[in-house]
Amino acid sequence: MADESVAEAIRRARPEECDDVARLLAAAFASDPVMSWLLRRDERQDSARALMFRTLLRYFGFPGGEVWLDTGHRAASLWVPPARSDLKLPWWQELALFPAIIRAVSVTGLKRMDAFRAAVGRHHPKAPHWYLMTLGVDPAMQGKGLGGAMLRATLAEVDRQHMPAYLESSSPRNVPLYERFGFVTQAVFNPPPDGPPLWAMWREARIASA
């Protein structure tokens, strides 16, 4: 069990903390099979992973105001609110995003990125929802209840709005955690041609607890 004070210490991150959150998420996903498959496959993969998270935070996290961090910088999550849950960006932002994508996956990884985005897009719900883009815990603190504390704190906001939620889990080890919080697997899919599996998980809207 995580310390009872953990949930109280979870707060929205500030934009100036972007690099700190990106480093935390990069460390949390260092052995993630989907990230390892997607990113460039050379000595720069570690920096590419941090760049990828920094880019997601800047384009999807902080603009939506739903980047969450515990005060000890041990766990973080990035939610996308319903108004942005289609994940569509204006064309000029897509264009500005491209150099970062090239640096993160390399030219040879562009086909993997296209396959990943197409596969995720096919399963992404069309109805408005809260989207948990990513949740990560410092590797030294994994297994101590911080992931559950982060979910409990952030899902409280989802339930206050009586909205459904969606995520893709890139690890089978995390599926039971999400199931405990009401997520149900809708599909398991692999980006072609050889991508590792992702679990598409949906959580029906709930009424917030008193």
- % of the chain at pLDDT higher than 70: 95
Question: What is the distance of C-alpha 130 from the center of its chain?
Answer: 12
Say which residue the tokens 């809260």 belong to.
130
Strands 184-189 and 198-203: what pairing?
antiparallel
Q: Which residues is 130 bridged to in the sheet?
A: 165
What pLDDT is stored for residue 6 in this prediction?
Answer: 53
Please give the helix or strand (H or E) that residue 76 lies within, else none: strand 75-80
| Tens-place pLDDT, residues 18-39 | 999 999 999 999 999 999 999 9
pLDDT tens track for 36-63: 999 999 999 999 999 999 999 999 999 9
**Whole-prediction pTM:** 0.92
Domain 5-147 belongs in CATH node 3.40.630.30: yes
> How is the chain split into domains, by residue range?
5-147
Give dist(CA 210, CA 193) in Å, integer.
47
Query: Which residues does 142 contact at the CB level (< 8 Å), separation at least 6?
Result: 28
Residue 23 in contact with residue 168, Cβ under 8 Å? Answer: no
Partner residues linked to 185 by β-bridges: 201
